[in-house]
């Protein structure tokens, strides 16, 4: 598995690279790298508009990638798959297009304490414009949603419940199906931020009955600058376009403009063509792997790393949910996370430090930041051992 990822053979500061920043972006298998190079070398052309052969080839490859995404999410229709620049753009599309058309004074949007900023700020922006409000669903100290509070918060005023499927800091896997059932019982829609779920879970949007689902290509071993927004057909059809420009129109006159059918209504301008194609290749590659074996491997890594870090005097791990993805955020008592991260970097160990775009969660735990080690399917116990040795060295130097 590791041999398929060229960058993992690098050395950093004369040390073998131990890459544990997968929550920020995952590395790319050679197959994806080859697909990107092949596109630019052999079929680079704009899509949908050209009558020439290169354009037709590029269009076919791009739309084949859309079908791959549909299959990956088990959606009903390929036109329910909107290509975006990432999870952030996908959530902003829903907040602006759906929220701008459907939220009114007195309406409420529920988000949680553990949300990434990209699933808080867009809702605050549209709520302020529309006279609605954003309500916080709190979490337990162990990092799980307070489901009893969700029940108390749900009412006819709640129009949207926007939650992360998997926390980027705590690794908590939220009970998505249960949340959706409860929200739908009160007439509310549900958007799931799947940026951290997509690399670790098999997603079935129809089984979940989720209304909107967003994820980023670069976290599932695909290129940067591309992502997906899934939306139920009837909801997308009813939403106004998010942006105007080429490609998304049916007819333009100075009197009136009519818009193209899904998905093109939401894909103004020349898209990230090679990004979409590369994402399709990444998802095809991922689909060929043994999902159960990967889940078992990641659980082993998580359990092993949790036990090893907990054995270090002064380490506190945040996030003790019963269901977790392979993410560990921690602090070393008496140190600043940036200092720990800097020492690990000198040892060739790549982790993330800071507030992880989750400042409300940092405030909840009364800390300015944490050290986060996030694992992917190509990591192994040797990577964990290197991390543990690095944290022990940081403790000897800083405490």
Residues annotated as catalytic (active site), given as ranges: 357
CA distance 3 to 37: 19
Count Cβ atoms below 10 Å from residue 121 Cβ, excluding itself: 17
CA distance 20 to 379: 8
Six token digits for residue 115: 């949300």
Six token digits for residue 211: 């209304």
DSSP secondary structure letter of residue 85? S
CA distance 393 to 399: 10
Q: In 97-188, which ranges are E strands?
A: 108-112, 133-137, 158-164
Tell me if 204 sits within 8 A of 74, measured CB to CB.
yes
CA distance 27 to 6: 9
Return the residue matching tokens 């040795």. 389
Distances from the Cα of 6 to the Cα of 24, 28, 129, 221, 376, angstroms: 18, 8, 47, 12, 15
CA distance 58 to 47: 6
Tell me if 69 sits within 8 A of 45, measured CB to CB.
no
CA distance 283 to 287: 6
| Nearest residue to 340 (alpha-carbon basis) of 399, 266, 294, 255 | 399
């Amino acid at each position: 598995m590791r041999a398929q990822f060229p960058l993992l053979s690098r050395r950093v500061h004369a040390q073998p690279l131990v890459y544990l920043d997968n929550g920020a972006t995952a590395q790319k298998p050679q197959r994806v790298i080859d697909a990107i190079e092949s596109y630019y070398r052999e079929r680079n052309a704009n899509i949908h508009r050209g009558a020439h052969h290169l354009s037709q080839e590029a269009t076919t490859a791009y739309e084949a990638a859309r079908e791959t995404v549909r299959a990956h999410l088990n959606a009903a229709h390929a036109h329910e798959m909107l290509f975006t620049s990432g999870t952030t753009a996908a959530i902003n599309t829903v907040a602006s297009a759906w929220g701008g058309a459907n939220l009114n004074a007195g309406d409420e949007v529920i988000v949680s304490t553990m949300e990434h900023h990209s699933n808080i700020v867009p809702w605050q922006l549209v709520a302020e414009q529309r006279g609605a409000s954003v309500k916080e669903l709190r979490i337990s100290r162990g990092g799980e949603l307070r489901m009893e509070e969700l029940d108390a918060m749900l009412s006819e005023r709640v129009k949207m419940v926007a939650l992360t499927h998997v926390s980027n800091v705590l690794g908590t896997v939220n009970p998505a199906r249960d949340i959706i059932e409860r929200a739908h019982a009160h007439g509310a829609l549900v958007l799931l931020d799947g940026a951290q779920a997509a690399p670790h879970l098999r997603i079935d949007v129809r089984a979940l009955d989720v209304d909107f689902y967003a994820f980023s290509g670069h976290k599932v071993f695909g290129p940067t600058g591309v992502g997906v927004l899934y939306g139920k057909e009837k909801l997308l059809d009813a939403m106004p376009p998010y942006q105007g420009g080429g490609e998304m129109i049916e007819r333009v006159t100075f009197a009136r403009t009519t818009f193209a059918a899904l998905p093109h209504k939401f894909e103004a301008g020349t898209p990230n063509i090679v990004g979409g194609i590369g994402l399709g290749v990444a998802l095809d590659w991922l689909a060929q792997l043994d999902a159960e074996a990967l889940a078992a491997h990641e659980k082993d890594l998580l359990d092993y790393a949790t036990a090893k870090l907990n054995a270090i005097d002064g380490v506190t791990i945040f996030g003790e949910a019963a269901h977790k993805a392979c993410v560990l955020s921690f602090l070393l008592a008496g140190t600043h996370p940036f200092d720990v991260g800097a020492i690990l970097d000198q040892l060739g160990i790549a982790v993330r430090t800071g507030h992880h775009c989750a400042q409300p969660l940092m405030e909840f735990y009364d800390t300015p930041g944490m050290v986060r080690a996030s694992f992917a399917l190509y990591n192994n116990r040797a990577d964990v051992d290197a991390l543990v040795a690095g944290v022990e060295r940081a403790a000897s130097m800083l405490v």
